[in-house]
Structure 1
Amino acid sequence: MERTPRLVCFDLDNTLIDRDGAFRKWARWWAELNGLGESGVEWLVAHDNGGFRPRAELFGLARQRFGLAASVDELVAAYDVEHPRFAWVEQSVLHGLADLRAAGWRIAIVTNGGTVQQKLKLEYTRIAGVIDYACVSETVGVRKPDRRIFELAAAGAGATLGDGWMVGDHPAHDIAGGIAAGLRTIQIGNRHVPDAPTADHQFDDVVKAFPVILAG
């Protein structure tokens, strides 16, 4: 009997791509567009909370702070299509994902975020072309660390969770969620969350994770 392919789940923001770097680039462009100066850039970065502040809340604050005429809904909708244009991916990451697929692994992106923005990021960075499935929380109605989002990712990628991996930067979302789904885990970066579980491996760059997965 042919074995069901194994799965590698990757977080997107600050794992495969530098989300914070892309946000700063967007903030500089947007601040210039609206005449906010460098202080506006720093305000946006400071209030972004690494992307974890709800966008409606962020732009509600920005609207008050800078006296913007557009509504919060208009600002958020524009941001959802503007911000992805500033995302990029290193070629070594695309090569690493392609190597995993060539070795028989199925690859799923498992990301908490909005459908429009996350899908555009995957398209603009060309990550969409080297994965099997993208599981976006807004699209499927489940967020990490809920085990169900990983089950949906496995089904969408045509794989099984057994003997698979979860790779991400957030201990309470990616690592805890991966462990709950029975996956081995790799943390990217050194984000610390109190009482969150420890990953099986930790690296400063996702490229270092690829050989570990291939060896497993």
Structure 2
Amino acid sequence: MQRLALFDLDNTLIDRDAAFLAWLDEFVADHGLDGAARAWLVRADGRTAGPMDGFFRLARREFGLAPSAEELWGRFRRRMPELAHCRPEDLAALGDLRAAGWRTAIVTNGMTDNQRGKIHRTGLAPLVDAWCISDEVGIRKPDPAIFRLAAQRCATTLDRGGWTIGDSGAHDIAGGRGAGLGTVWIRRGRTWPDDQPAPDHEADTVAEAVAILLGRSPR
């Protein structure tokens, strides 16, 4: 197995849920919404798969918001990178991988401006060799082609395998397995479903996942 690690971004390298809730508190205050509206928006976010334009169309219609859905979505994409953070331990772990001779990339579904903003503002950009953003490359996880493209951007191929690390069973684990990669699932307090093929490893954080890849006990 070659030293190649492909990382998911949202809720793996960054805490997307925390950033979303911080944005949501601002959004509710800016538009004069109440606690019931906030709860509705949390549920709507949980049901949203893929781009967030549908979320903002629903929110605009539900609460009679004046700005267009496209304008609301654009504001969201500009603000979220400013609210995103990485754990210092996870950033250090990425540095450990690079120091050990690993090639690393970020493979993420999402809009180019939003995801690029997160990668640069959180300090991830200098710690990885490449990234693939679905909106930019026209391929979404779990399609194995996006993992193959990430490997190419790291100046290698998946012929000798590698690893994918992420929080989504459907996108990261199933997608990585389909691309012939070893898999590390970021649990985030969850239990892997019994009716699904299990990942090769489970971890609570990126730092713990990196420790597994480097063959040592988690820090």
Taking structure 2 as the reference length, the TM-score comes to 0.90
Greater displacement, 91-100 / 67-76: 67-76
2:31 to 34, 53, 56: 34
Aligned to 2:206: 206
Distance in structure 2 (CA, Å) of the matches to 1:136 and 1:53:
13
2:52 to 48, 51, 55: 55
State the SS of the aligned residue for 1:160: coil
Root-mean-square deviation (Å): 1.9
Question: In structure 2, what residue type is equivalent to 1:128?
Answer: A
State the SS of the aligned residue for 2:107: strand
Q: Is the 8 A contact 1:171 1:197 kept in 2?
A: no
1:75 to 65, 72, 77: 72
Distance in structure 1 (CA, Å) of the matches to 2:169 and 2:196:
6
Alignment of 1:56-205 (within 5 A): 56-161=53-158, 162-189=160-187, 190=190, 196-205=196-205
Residue 125 of structure 1: how far off its partner (Å): 0.9
How many residue pairs match? The answer is 212
Task: Kindly provide the CA deviation profile for residues 13-34 of structure 1, in whole angstroms up to 9, marking residues without a partner as x.
Answer: 1111111111011000111111
Question: In structure 2, what residue type is equivalent to 1:166?
Answer: T
Task: Give 5+ residue unaligned stretches, structure 2.
Answer: none
Q: Is the 8 A contact 1:24 1:41 kept in 2?
A: no
Greater displacement, 158-167 / 73-82: 158-167
Greater share of residues in helix: 1
Q: Is the 8 A contact 1:172 1:196 kept in 2?
A: no
Greater displacement, 7-16 / 43-52: 43-52
Q: 1:94 and 1:140, CA in 2 relative to 1: closer, same or farther beyond 3 A?
A: same
Greater displacement, 12-21 / 189-198: 189-198
Taking structure 1 as the reference length, the TM-score comes to 0.91
Residue 170 of structure 1: how far off its partner (Å): 0.8
State the SS of the aligned residue for 2:10: coil
Distance in structure 2 (CA, Å) of the matches to 1:179 and 1:116:
28
State the SS of the aligned residue for 1:113: coil
Q: 1:111 and 1:196, CA in 2 relative to 1: closer, same or farther beyond 3 A?
A: farther
Q: Is the 8 A contact 1:172 1:193 kept in 2?
A: no
Distance in structure 2 (CA, Å) of the matches to 1:14 and 1:193:
18
Q: Is the 8 A contact 2:109 2:135 kept in 1?
A: yes
Distance in structure 1 (CA, Å) of the matches to 2:48 and 2:87:
21
Question: In structure 2, what residue type is equivalent to 1:209?
Answer: A
Residue 51 of structure 1: how far off its partner (Å): 5.4
State the SS of the aligned residue for 2:185: strand
State the SS of the aligned residue for 1:25: helix
